[in-house]
Structure 1
Amino acid sequence: MPSTSLLYLPELGQLALIAAFVVACFQVLIPLAGVHLRQPWLMGYARSLAVGQTIFLLASLGFLTSCFLLDDFSVAYVAANSNTLLPVPYKVSAVWGAHEGSLLLWITMLGGWGAAVALFSRSLPLDMVARVLSVMGMVSVGFILFTLETSNPFARVLPSAPLEGADLNPLLQDFGLIVHPPTLYMGYVGLSVAFAFAIAALMSGRLDAAWARWSRPWTTAAWVFLTIGIALGSWWAYYELGWGGWWFWDPVENASLMPWLVATALVHSLAVTEKRGLFKSWTVLLAIFAFSLSLLGTFLVRSGVLTSVHAFASDPDRGVFILALLGVCVGGSLLLFALKAPVVASFGRYRSLSRETALLLNNLLLVVMALAILTGTLYPLVYDFMGLGKLSVGEAWFNSMFVPLSVALALLMGVGIGVRWKSDTVTRLWRSLWVAAVLALIFAVLSVAVLTDALDVSVLIGLGVAFWLMLATLIDVISKTGGKFARMTVLGAGYAGMIVAHIGVAVTIVGVTMVSNFSLETSVRMSPGQVETLGAYQFEFVKSGTIEGPNYLSQAARFNLYHEGRKLGQLTAEKRRYHARGSIMTEAAIDGGLFRDVYVSMGEPLENGAWGIRLQIKPYMRWVWLGAILMAVGGGLAMLDKRYRRVRKHQESVA
């Protein structure tokens, strides 16, 4: 228990959260009053209020973290999610390991994004900053109120505080869960900035290239975080859950993928709005729906309407509150959009064969993909709600919808990068891309011939579109640089980022194609001294024993790994039993490489010292995440483009 001088940390955290709520209310009212009254001194308070709100939120989060580090089990949330034996890194991650703390982290990050806009938007017109930060304050007010009313992380269990905590869920006692939720939340919450810019632009009636330029780096930053967060979640599920898969179409996985798809469309739509002054309606709607889908993900995780290893809470009252917030955000935004419809009209001409058309089709495909996932995720919930029984939409359905759309999107990306703005001709486009098309087909056919005994259409299509996208991208680079890659710097960081991101998509397609079609797997009964073969690999069960961890006892199995008779090393798989909860967790042993993963996980103990063992070979598994890393790097490069750092005279004026 903490010392007497530290007994009031939870109350201080609560007071800091209440203070943040009060400041957020002022952040909504004062800047908007300044805009309405055309008083710059009132608008100027927007920045200081946004920073002040963030300071209070950081203090509140810091006080909660201190309660975990001090094992203050008089706090109900700490008692439910920590333990004296829990290692310190996991005590920190336990802060966001369940509903109340993760929501406080979510709100703190929301405040942080607002503070970032306040501090790094000196070149924006003051009235635009006031509107943007006021809208972000509205979102903060709703979620801080939700936390105070239904999800207080500082609630006490006095006077009968337990002497020991219940421990953090063993699934979350892992490095992946230290970094995955904060990164994912940064993406989720970052979309609020794009949302706020869109609403502020509607309020002002100023939807122009300057607005798109202001919004674009913030949107790209959120997209980068969301990309990394989704990849980290996939990586964690792969090695921690013990099943060897990397995507299960789990409803909460879907809840993160949907806003990513719409945000991807938004990034491209902003490019057209900035470059050509077109797609204003598209851009505004995509900004609204991207953030709305992030709120929908919050609802799904916290409402109890679904069961998932990722879900936090099962309180219907909380779900109703978040659903009301979602309704206000979506309904209010769409109402404002309808009222301002004449303002968002775009005027500009382009032919059917042009980059504008390619990007429009790109956006349509991304939105259709998001709608398909939304349908598959929500349909069972609606079916059950209507009393029609239980219904499951599984992997086969999602793949049948998502894969063809993904192939079409990759083909379109290859065309879109080479087509010109405003107008182009089939003849010129074919001259620039026919080499990529022919080489992609040749490489795909040769790859299938080497990898399979018969023509495998799925492999041919997957590798074909990946090669097509890579080659079309590289040919565009060669065309624009004249073969002198040093000239890439002249084309700008934005162009370089696009190239890297598109190659990342191609790399991920290769990884998905290979691991989906060429993975090997077997489940066997193995005893010490026994050798099993899978593909070109041999697994020798050396011995089993116990390992004492800081808060668990592990049954471990050690294997020697051989490739065609040559020893590669040793693997140790574990079956852990955690002391506090008695939970059993599988810790897979993975020998990873650029071109294949060897995966060993333990099943159930059998008689005479034998174990059920699962052996898997996963070719090109790392390419799935390598592609995501390249996409994120591409987004980061695009944010560095110098045109986003220019201070323009018309940006410094107050409308």
Structure 2
Amino acid sequence: MGELGLLALIFVAMLSSTSSVVYVLRRARNQQPLFSLVQISHLNAFFSLLSLIVLAILFLTNQFTFAYVASHSNIALPTPFKLAAVWGGHQGSMLFWVMTLCCWSALIAVHKQRNSRYFQDVLWIMQLLIAAFSWFTLLGSNPFEYNAEFVVQGRDLNPMLQDIGLIFHPPLLYLGYIGFSTVLAFAFAALMQPHYDHRWVLLSQYWAVSAWVLLTIGIGIGSWWAYNELGWGGWWFWDPVENASLLPWLTGTALLHAMYAARTRKMLQLWALILALVTFSLSILGTFIVRSGVLTSVHAFAVDPGKGLALLGILSVVLIGSFGLLIMRSDQVVSERIESILSRSYFTLFAIGLLSVGCFTVFLGTFYPMVYELLGLGAISVGAPYFNTLFVPLSLITLIVMGLAPFLQWQRGIRGSWKTIVVLFTVSFLMGVAVYIPQVTSAKFIVAIAWGFGVWVMTSHLFMLGRGKKLSFMLFAHIGIAVGVIGALMNAQHSTQISIKLGPGIEVEWQGWTVDYVNTNWLIGNNYTAEQAVIRFNDQNGNTFEVYPERRYYPVRVMNMTEPAIRSFWYGDVYVTLGNRISDDFYAVKLQYNAYIFWIWGCGLLMIFGGIVSGVRALTRRYSLNKRGREVVQTTAI
């Protein structure tokens, strides 16, 4: 069975590389292509999907004769986690990368203009990327290699990956990463034409929004998984692997702003091209961080240091080739001038600048320790204090800019009057502070400012909505960011925790609750055993609930894992972690109150919903453009 998957992967590598070479040779001679890359794209999608399905079948049927299956699965592993194991290791994740590239290419090949020279160039760029990653997977990361020794039982999947969130997190993250390859292909195919055409922005905006939404969902699920699974009670650790996903998200967000300006007002064309290149390059860099093991991370479960140089080689080719083409054709990239500082176009550029500064901040904090150590200067650590110190002021500045955005016109001036804006800002700011102060016993100045600015963003957008402005991506995304900034600062400044010794018959008072350790249960799972605590919370109003934190032992991996218990309220979570057993009946228990964590998840949901709205509108615009084009052709024929 494995031979079929390997053969399918070989077909993908051969088809993509051969078709790429033949196409570019005939194009250079101004000859008609021997074949359409549309069919090649569809064939590659079929064979790559077949290869991944075969690998999944090997996991589901416990084929431990294959080294990759034996390293990441076990007979007792539950079926959903066997599917997660398909992409849980280095080899499987790279096969999933190839499959995703092929499927994005096949989706582009469905377009009405798929046989035009421009779309053939787009598909050619996609085939080049498919060829690079399929050969990389085939020669250096083959998931269909046989085990050198006969084994009857696998090593099991890393217990940290045995969570429902990890079934969806890596695929969505990869769909987002690789989705930006389509924008790169559209952008630089436009530069390959005799005359640069800015309409590539309209054609690729749907793909850009789709990739951004998928990446946002992937990051959100990853954060939710870390919060629910790792037991430390946080939602973002500024870990190198977390930062690896944040880098293309920041530049991808900047790209959406640049594309919007380029589409509506033919502005920021060069910015859009540069950001298309940088975003996909950072996606490759993110894969390098996760899979090479060059940076230590609690998330880097599937590393293969020997493959890092090959990934860097692919990244170098993408950067050199793309930037080289951009430099050669930059004289044809002409944008309309920004006439006034007080305009939406200028504030869009300012927003791109803020996002770029944020990206550079994360990049520097992530890679500086590695470079410092490689130079033999010692080992240093850059942690949360560095990132928080820089991101808090950036976030507050961003809130001010977002609050003004609905009032600005593209070229110059504002909608309404300055008096209205000043009054609205003052009322909103005071309202935000007034909502915040009664919630806490000790107010924090920076949090009060965030509440004021956050409510200002919400009010300004809703005010313009009431004045007849349509629901838009901007409205949902900006309000989502405001909600997220408030939630993050509330969580950072007003969360509390204690570590105590608890056992049967022990009660403690904490955060207005009486905490009672009821008893301990012993559980046996498919591939683990567990100690489960039953802890009851009661308040003075008679409200009560129980939580069931666990401490699990996985015998195959010889690993202990904590499974925290969480009780959620709109204003925060009660988060309980069962630690080591101190004596026969007593355990170390950590009690945490995580303020406003729900607001952080709400931030992601609002942005995702806004992205979906934008994607639907972009798809509608593209359909209308195709329809008008067909009508013009029919009229000309008549």
- 1:189-244 deviation digits (Å, cap 9, x = unpaired): 10111111111111115544421111111000000001111110100000100110
State whether residues 184 and 226 of structure 1, in contact with CA within 8 Å, keep that contact through their aligned partners in structure 2: yes
Give 1:379's aligned amino acid.
Y
Q: What does residue 515 of structure 2 align with?
A: 539
Q: Give the aligned CA root-mean-square deviation in angstroms.
A: 1.9
State whether residues 90 and 141 of structure 2, in contact with CA within 8 Å, keep that contact through their aligned partners in structure 1: yes
Give 2:621's aligned amino acid.
R
Alpha-carbon distance in 2 for matches of 1:525, 1:307: 32
Q: What does residue 350 of structure 1 align with?
A: 339
1:251 matches 2:227: no
Alpha-carbon distance in 2 for matches of 1:23, 1:48: 10
Alpha-carbon distance in 1 for matches of 2:482, 2:461: 10
- 1:603-651 deviation digits (Å, cap 9, x = unpaired): 1100141000000112221110111011011011111112232134786
Which range is displaced more, 634-643 or 449-458?
449-458
Are residues 526 and 221 of structure 1, via their aligned partners in 2, closer, same or farther at CA, if it must alter by over 3 Å?
same
Deviation at 1:29, TM superposition (A): 3.4
Give 1:14's aligned amino acid.
L
Alpha-carbon distance in 2 for matches of 1:651, 1:132: 20
Give 1:647's aligned amino acid.
L
State whether residues 175 and 215 of structure 2, in contact with CA within 8 Å, keep that contact through their aligned partners in structure 1: yes
Mind listing any 5+ residue stretches in structure 2 that lack a counterpart?
634-638
- 1:75-128 deviation digits (Å, cap 9, x = unpaired): 000000000000111111110111111111111111111111111x21467122
Are residues 358 and 73 of structure 1, via their aligned partners in 2, closer, same or farther at CA, if it must alter by over 3 Å?
same
Mind listing any 5+ residue stretches in structure 1 that lack a counterpart?
1-8, 482-490
Are residues 34 and 212 of structure 1, via their aligned partners in 2, closer, same or farther at CA, if it must alter by over 3 Å?
farther
1:49 aligned residue (19, 40, 62): 40
Alpha-carbon distance in 2 for matches of 1:257, 1:435: 36
State whether residues 418 and 432 of structure 1, in contact with CA within 8 Å, keep that contact through their aligned partners in structure 2: no
**TM-score, normalised on structure 2?**
0.95
2:133 aligned residue (130, 143, 146): 143
State whether residues 123 and 647 of structure 1, in contact with CA within 8 Å, keep that contact through their aligned partners in structure 2: no
Alpha-carbon distance in 1 for matches of 2:195, 2:536: 66
1:156 aligned residue (125, 136, 146): 146
Report the 3-state secondary structure (helix = DSSP H, G, I; strand = E; otherwise coil) of the residue aligned with 1:581. Answer: coil
**TM-score, normalised on structure 1?**
0.93
State whether residues 338 and 346 of structure 2, in contact with CA within 8 Å, keep that contact through their aligned partners in structure 1: no
Q: What does residue 434 of structure 1 align with?
A: 422
Q: What does residue 615 of structure 2 align with?
A: 639
Deviation at 1:428, TM superposition (A): 4.7
Report the 3-state secondary structure (helix = DSSP H, G, I; strand = E; otherwise coil) of the residue aligned with 1:645. Answer: helix
State whether residues 217 and 639 of structure 1, in contact with CA within 8 Å, keep that contact through their aligned partners in structure 2: yes
Q: What does residue 636 of structure 2 align with?
A: none
Deviation at 1:513, TM superposition (A): 2.1
1:130 matches 2:120: yes
State whether residues 72 and 158 of structure 2, in contact with CA within 8 Å, keep that contact through their aligned partners in structure 1: yes
Alpha-carbon distance in 1 for matches of 2:457, 2:196: 33
Which range is displaced more, 134-143 or 556-565?
556-565
Q: What does residue 106 of structure 1 align with?
A: 97
Are residues 432 and 292 of structure 1, via their aligned partners in 2, closer, same or farther at CA, if it must alter by over 3 Å?
farther
Deviation at 1:538, TM superposition (A): 2.4
Report the 3-state secondary structure (helix = DSSP H, G, I; strand = E; otherwise coil) of the residue aligned with 1:165. Answer: coil
Are residues 457 and 21 of structure 1, via their aligned partners in 2, closer, same or farther at CA, if it must alter by over 3 Å?
same
State whether residues 158 and 301 of structure 2, in contact with CA within 8 Å, keep that contact through their aligned partners in structure 1: no
Report the 3-state secondary structure (helix = DSSP H, G, I; strand = E; otherwise coil) of the residue aligned with 2:549. Answer: strand
Deviation at 1:37, TM superposition (A): 5.3
Are residues 179 and 39 of structure 1, via their aligned partners in 2, closer, same or farther at CA, if it must alter by over 3 Å?
same
2:174 aligned residue (173, 182, 185): 185
Alpha-carbon distance in 1 for matches of 2:346, 2:504: 63
- 1:44-100 deviation digits (Å, cap 9, x = unpaired): 612111111111100110111111011010000000000000011111111011111
Are residues 12 and 421 of structure 1, via their aligned partners in 2, closer, same or farther at CA, if it must alter by over 3 Å?
same
Q: What does residue 28 of structure 1 align with?
A: 20
Alpha-carbon distance in 2 for matches of 1:345, 1:194: 19
1:174 aligned residue (163, 167, 191): 163
Give 1:78's aligned amino acid.
V
Are residues 127 and 13 of structure 1, via their aligned partners in 2, closer, same or farther at CA, if it must alter by over 3 Å?
same
1:500 matches 2:476: yes
1:277 aligned residue (251, 261, 266): 266
State whether residues 82 and 166 of structure 1, in contact with CA within 8 Å, keep that contact through their aligned partners in structure 2: yes
Alpha-carbon distance in 2 for matches of 1:354, 1:232: 36
- 1:153-201 deviation digits (Å, cap 9, x = unpaired): 011015x320100000000011010011111111111011111111111
Are residues 31 and 469 of structure 1, via their aligned partners in 2, closer, same or farther at CA, if it must alter by over 3 Å?
farther
1:18 aligned residue (1, 6, 10): 10
Report the 3-state secondary structure (helix = DSSP H, G, I; strand = E; otherwise coil) of the residue aligned with 2:405. Answer: helix
Deviation at 1:38, TM superposition (A): 5.3
Which range is displaced more, 449-458 or 370-379?
449-458
1:80 matches 2:106: no
